[in-house]
Amino acid sequence: MDAADETSVFIVRMWFEPVNGGEPAWRGSVDDVRRKRRLYFTNLGTMCEFMVEQRRLPPPSPES
């Protein structure tokens, strides 16, 4: 396995959204660039779990 196979690239986006007319809440999405998977989240723990899970998967095949 070369270094490129061991590298993960994630794009994280975060924004505020109003919640039921009250205080805004953080929302976000994280994209696994190599696997073309996206997760929407409302807390950072969920985002971190997704990233760890993606790192445990084998690298995608070149055809993906």
- Residue 25, amino acid: A
The confidence score (pLDDT) of residue 7 equals 84
Domains of the chain, by residue range, sit at 3-56
d(CA 50, CA 32) in angstroms, rounded, equals 9
pLDDT tens, position by position, for the chain (64 residues)? 455 567 899 999 999 998 887 888 999 999 999 899 999 999 999 999 999 999 988 877 766 5
d(CA 38, CA 4) in angstroms, rounded, equals 21
Task: Note the helical H segments in the chain.
Answer: 44-56
The confidence score (pLDDT) of residue 48 equals 94
| pTM check: above 0.95 | no
